[in-house]
Structure 1
Amino acid sequence: MRVLTMASQKGGSGKTSLAASLAVAAADGGETVAGIDTDPQGSLAAWGRRRQAQGLTVETAEPARVRQALDRAKASGASLAIVDTPGIFGAGVAIALQDANFVLVPVKPSILDVEAARPTVEQLQTLRKPFGLVLNQCLTSSQGRTLDAATALVRSGTLAPCMVALRADFLDAMTAGQGVTEIAPRGKAAAEVRLLWAWIAERMQETPARG
Structure 2
Amino acid sequence: MKTIAVISQKGGAGKTTIALNLGVAVVRSGHQCAVIDIDPQASAKCWHDLRQDDFPAVVSAQAARLPEILQTAKQNGAELVIIDTAPHSESAALAAARLADLVLVPCRPSLLDLKAITTTIDLAALAKTPALAVLNTVPVRGGLKGEAEQVLRSYGVEMAPVTLGHRIAFVHSLTSGQGVLEYEPNGKAAEEITELFRAICACRHWNDLIEKRG
Whether these two folds match at TM > 0.5 is: yes
Query: Taking structure 1 as the reference length, what is the TM-score of the superposition?
Result: 0.94
Secondary structure at the counterpart of residue 36 of structure 2: strand
Question: What is residue 12 of structure 2 aligned with on the other side?
Answer: 12
Corresponding residue SS for 1:185: coil
* Local SS of the residue matching 1:65: helix
Corresponding residue of 1:33? 33
Give, in whole Å, the separation in 1 of the partners of 2:89 and 2:30. Answer: 31
Distance 1:154 1:121, change over 3 A: same
In 2, Cα distance between equivalents of 1:104 and 1:198: 14
Partner of 2:80: 80
Matched ranges for 1:125-164 at <5 A? 125-142=125-142, 144-156=143-155, 157-164=157-164
Structure 2, unpaired ranges of 5+: none
Q: CA deviation at 1:84?
A: 0.2
Q: In 2, distance between residues paired with 1:186 and 1:12? A: 26
Displacement of 1:205: 2.5
CA distance in 2, matches of 1:84, 1:141: 29
1:109 and 2:109 are equivalent in the alignment: yes
Query: Residues 155-204 of structure 1, C-alpha deviation per residue, up to 9 Å, x if partnerless?
Result: 22000111100111111111111110110000000000000111111225
Q: C-alpha root-mean-square deviation of aligned residues, in Å? A: 1.5
Worse-matched range after superposition: 86-95 or 102-111: 86-95
Give 1:61's aligned residue.
61
Tell me the matched-pair count: 208
For residue 207 of structure 1, report the CA deviation from its aligned partner. Answer: 7.4
Q: Is the 8 A contact 1:51 1:178 kept in 2?
A: yes
How big is the shift at 1:54?
3.5
Choose between structure 1 and 2 for higher RCO, CA contacts under 8 A separated by at least 6 residues. Answer: 1
Q: What letter corresponds to residue 191 of structure 1 in structure 2? A: E
- Contact 1:138 / 1:163 at 8 angstroms: preserved in 2? yes
Native 8 Å contact 2:201 2:207 kept in 1: no
1:85-144 CA-to-partner distances (Å, cap 9, x unmatched) read 0012411111122210111000000111011001111221222101100100111122x1
Q: Render the CA deviation track for 1:21-56: whole Å, top value 9, x for unaligned.
A: 111111112220111000001001111111112332
Answer yes or no: is the 8 Å Cα contact 2:48–2:54 preserved in 1: no
Q: How far apart in 2 are the matches of 1:103 and 1:170?
A: 21
1:6 deviation in Å? 0.3
Report the CA distance between 1:206 and its aligned residue.
4.1
| Conservation of the 8 A alpha-carbon contact between 1:101 and 1:208 | no
Displacement over 3 Å in runs of 4+: 206-209
Aligned to 1:91: 91
- Residue 48 of structure 1 corresponds to 48
CA contact under 8 A between 2:201 and 2:208: conserved in structure 1?
A: no
TM-score normalized by the length of structure 2: 0.92
